[in-house]
Amino acid sequence: MGEGKIIEMKPISLYEVKDILKERKSEKELTYEQDVTLKFVEKFAKLTEKQTNDLLKGLDEIEFLKEDANLKHQIAAALPTKLEQVRLFVPKDVEVSDEDLTKVLELTKTLGEKL
């Protein structure tokens, strides 16, 4: 089994994971881990590329998420539909207004209802 070199690490959406793995699968056989991941994202990645990008742009407008790409992608993957679910994503040391949490919920709930 060949060792790969990590060139860059950055958060990506489930849609992008699915796209990358489908492309790889067309070129060669996937490893066990890649195959399991592809099956997972095919089942749970419900947003299109445009919906994902629109959601990430919307989340980028919210103050506590502006500098946290990881958190934005986690929220986009989970699509919380309740305020309590949104709160679970916020680190304990970060103060967030109810208004900002509600903005996140409005964005994710709107997309979740379309699925």
Quote the number of domains for the chain.
2
Give residue 3's pLDDT: 67
What the block records as the tokens of 55 is 């959601």
> Which domain covers residue 30, as residue numbers?
14-44
pLDDT in tens, 5-27: 888 899 999 999 999 999 999 99
User: Cα–Cα distance between 90 and 84 in angstroms, integer?
Assistant: 10
The predicted-structure confidence for 63-104, as pLDDT tens digits, reads as follows 999 999 999 999 999 999 999 999 999 999 989 999 999 999
Q: Are residues 28 and 63 in the same domain?
A: no
| DSSP code per residue over 38-92 | HHHHHHH--S-HHHHHHHHHHHHTSGGGTT-HHHHHHHHHH---SHHHHHHHS-T
Q: Is the pLDDT of residue 111 over 60?
A: yes
Tell whether 69 and 23 lie within a shared domain: no
Predicted local confidence at residue 89, as pLDDT: 94
